[in-house]
Structure 1
Amino acid sequence: MKIDPLTFWIVLPVLAIGTYVIRLSFLGVLGNRPLPEGLRRALRYTAVAILPGLVAPAVLWPAATGGQTDPARLAAALVTLAVGIATRSVIGAILAGGVTLYAVLWL
């Protein structure tokens, strides 16, 4: 799909300004003030809440297999989760999941 150059050059600055305004609304308004403790506590869980939403579709409906659940990816996800819980090491969990994925795909 090809986009018209005029449309592109109109949309690009509008999106840039929109992004700037959204970020400024938080940083400019709240930048010099301490956040309430309840909000700070909730923000700690943002990555934990978003990451499963990003990973789950790639594990359960991977594009590499045409949307069919793949035992190799499922095994890698389960090993990653188990190692992450057991060791509390992000790097260890990622490495264990990667090794599991490639080992099961190789078999």
Structure 2
Amino acid sequence: MISDAAFWTLTVLLGLGTFLIRFSFLGLLGGRPLPGWLLLHLKYVGVAVLPALVTPMVLWPAATGGETDPARLVAALAALVAGLRLSVVAALIGGMGALYLWHFLFPTL
């Protein structure tokens, strides 16, 4: 186990690091307009991060022992189509609906 002094030192340092990361954007840049080139690049952060978070859960899900599951592929495709055609909420509902419908219709696959 870790000693109490090491635990509290690590906790304070991690808290300070987290504060400084947030302060760098909110405290230093919070009241100033950002340059146009930076705003243009920030628009694509969500588009880049979301697939990076979702892809491992679709291709190598822990629920199947890391093997690709057709139900999750169908659900991801349904979410993609709904998201491109409608909205983020529709993507969530479409993906969840497709996953649950697949498991209802094909419980052994």
Please give the TM-score of this superposition, normalised by the length of structure 2: 0.87
Aligned-partner SS, 1:69: coil
The CA RMSD over aligned residues, in Å, is 1.3
Equivalent residue, structure 2, for 1:47: 46
Matches within 5 A, 1:71-90: 71-87=70-86, 89-90=87-88
- Find the aligned partners of 1:5 and 1:102 in 2 and give their Cα distance: 47
Equivalent residue, structure 1, for 2:103: 105
- Find the aligned partners of 2:38 and 2:63 in 1 and give their Cα distance: 39
CA deviation profile, 1:70-101 (whole Å, cap 9, x unmatched)? 000010000110111122x1111111111100
Aligned mate of 2:91, from 90, 93, 101: 93
* Runs of 4+ residues deviating >4 angstroms: none
- Find the aligned partners of 2:78 and 2:52 in 1 and give their Cα distance: 18
Equivalent residue, structure 1, for 2:56: 57
After TM superposition, the structure 1 stretch with the greater mean CA deviation from structure 2, 24-33 or 57-66, is 24-33
CA deviation profile, 1:51-73 (whole Å, cap 9, x unmatched)? 00000000000000010000000
- Find the aligned partners of 2:72 and 2:31 in 1 and give their Cα distance: 45
Does residue 1:14 correspond to 2:23, yes or no? no
Identity of aligned residues (%): 51
- Find the aligned partners of 1:72 and 1:5 in 2 and give their Cα distance: 47
- Find the aligned partners of 1:48 and 1:5 in 2 and give their Cα distance: 42
After TM superposition, the structure 1 stretch with the greater mean CA deviation from structure 2, 23-32 or 10-19, is 23-32
Shift of 1:5: 4.9
Please give the TM-score of this superposition, normalised by the length of structure 1: 0.89
Equivalent residue, structure 2, for 1:70: 69
Q: Any stretches of 5+ residues in structure 2 without a counterpart? A: none
- Find the aligned partners of 2:17 and 2:94 in 1 and give their Cα distance: 41
Aligned-partner SS, 1:33: coil
